[in-house]
Amino acid sequence: MKRLPLLLLVITLFTASTAVQSQQKMADLIAANFQFAENQYKLLMQHVTPGKMPQRYEQANNNWVNMEIQWWCSGFYPGSLWYIYEQTGDSSIKKEAERALEVIKPNQFYTDHHDLGFMMYCSFGNAYRITGNEAYKQPILNAADALITRFRPGIPAIQSWNKSKKFNCPVIIDNMMNLELLEWAARNGGNKKGSEIARLHTETTTKNHYRPDYSSYHVIDYDTATGAVLQKRTHQGYADNSAWSRGQAWGLYGYVMMYRFTKNKAYLQQAQNIAGFILNHPRLPADKIPYWDYDAPNIPDAVRDVSAAAITASALLELGQYTKGKQKEKYLSDATTILRALDSDQYKAAPGTNGGFLLLHSTGALPFNSEIDVPLIYADYYFLEALKRYKDWYLK
């Protein structure tokens, strides 16, 4: 009878020891990746075109693609630099981050599309959070004002792209990400109307973007006067009714973030439902790095999208902060699986290669034969964010 308590003690000690070892492995993984990122981005810095921002690297022809600052990705390079500087303290990384901010600073007044959150909050937002420098705050508030001009009350939602031959008033699932800019600005001296707009946009997205299985359409096209849905389409996915993997990740992240600001339990439930769709999908590979579209016809030979995995990992780590018990353990476990996969040779570049980018095998817009199986700047950004979140929230 005395053996049972002793056995339980042994099991408890073994479990605790295993947990400590696991945490140490993750701590080592995170530290090594930020050091890796510091070295890689010092290489990438050498290939940034003046007045532009790096977007991808094409290994086949050894070509660094740099884009105009109005491109939706322009905030991810400085944002990544700030994450790296925060963890390593490297002064040359900080100097380059400061230079990059000056380049994209005019975007604070840009109103020609919806991606002000990506462009200005991921960049200036991180700079302000890390340094407390007040000079970085006003551009964020100005950018929120610029984004508010795209709100269409008749829908009600923020118009993503301008009217074209293909769409009247398109709203894409990606737009959930830009609501963080509005919510943060409303709480930090900016236009408080932005918070209400963010909530209205979220409600409209829940109503019209999501299917019964909690997968999302990519594009909903609206009549601005009546709010009627004109089309439910895709732009970057396989088909209108398919589940484009990065779109699912954008939605997951967006609802988790909106719950952070509002504590609206409906948003938390929506995030959990989306997470369930992603994590329980029969075509999600064991390493949790999704194919570019869950309905791609050539699975398992379809290309992966590492960017979708990195976004999902970051979102799951935050979702775990708002849940308990087995659900929390699952979100942490699946996020950890993704991070360990991204740390592997299969998805992470060898030092000094990949043009200085960190991750391999992202897919931007396959239907346009664009950015297929290449490193992309936003995959790096959300990978670094996920590493930081794991360190801050789950390492004891």
Which CATH number characterizes residue 152's domain?
A: 1.50.10.10
Answer whether residue 367 is part of any domain: yes
The answer for residues whose C-beta is within 8 angstroms of residue 80's C-beta and 6 or more apart is 37, 41, 377, 380, 381, 384
115 is catalytic: yes
The per-residue pLDDT for range 215-236, each reduced to its tens digit, is 999 999 999 999 999 999 999 9
Q: Domain range holding 85?
A: 40-394
Per-residue pLDDT for 20 more than 80? no
**What is the rounded average pLDDT of the residues 389-393?**
98
Per-residue pLDDT for 24 more than 70? yes
Pairing of strands 63-67, 151-152: unpaired
**C-alpha distance across the termini of the chain, in Å:** 36
Tell me phi and psi for residue 181, to 5 degrees: -60, -45
Answer whether residue 24 is part of any domain: no
Answer whether residue 376 is part of any domain: yes
**What is the rounded average pLDDT of the residues 343-356?**
98
Answer whether residue 230 is part of any domain: yes
CB 118 within 8 Å of CB 72: yes
174 is catalytic: yes
Answer whether residue 112 is part of any domain: yes
**What is the rounded average pLDDT of the residues 364-378?**
97
In the chain, the number of structural domains is 1
Per-residue pLDDT for 199 more than 70? yes
In the chain, % helix, strand, coil (3-state, to 5) comes to 60, 10, 30
**What is the rounded average pLDDT of the residues 117-145?**
98
Residue 2's pLDDT is what? Answer: 54
Q: What confidence category does residue 5 fall into, taking pLDDT thresholds of 50, 70 and 90?
A: confident
Can you tell me the distance from the alpha carbon of 339 to that of 333, in angstroms, rounded to the nearest whole number? Answer: 10
The per-residue pLDDT for range 253-263, each reduced to its tens digit, is 999 999 999 99
The per-residue pLDDT for range 25-36, each reduced to its tens digit, is 999 999 999 999
Per the DSSP assignment, residues forming a β-bridge with 57 are 64
Q: What confidence category does residue 143 fall into, taking pLDDT thresholds of 50, 70 and 90?
A: very high
The per-residue pLDDT for range 44-64, each reduced to its tens digit, is 999 999 999 999 999 999 999
Tell me phi and psi for residue 231, to 5 degrees: -150, 150
What dihedral do alpha carbons 326, 327, 331, 333 form, nearest 10°? 10
Answer whether residue 171 is part of any domain: yes
Answer whether residue 103 is part of any domain: yes
Residue 1's pLDDT is what? Answer: 46
Q: Give me the catalytic one of 115, 145, 305, 343.
A: 115
**What is the rounded average pLDDT of the residues 387-396?**
95
What is the value of pTM for the model shown?
A: 0.95
Residue 167's pLDDT is what? Answer: 98
**What is the rounded average pLDDT of the residues 303-327?**
98
Work out the percent of the chain whose per-residue pLDDT is above 70: 95
Q: Give me the catalytic one of 90, 112, 145, 174.
A: 174
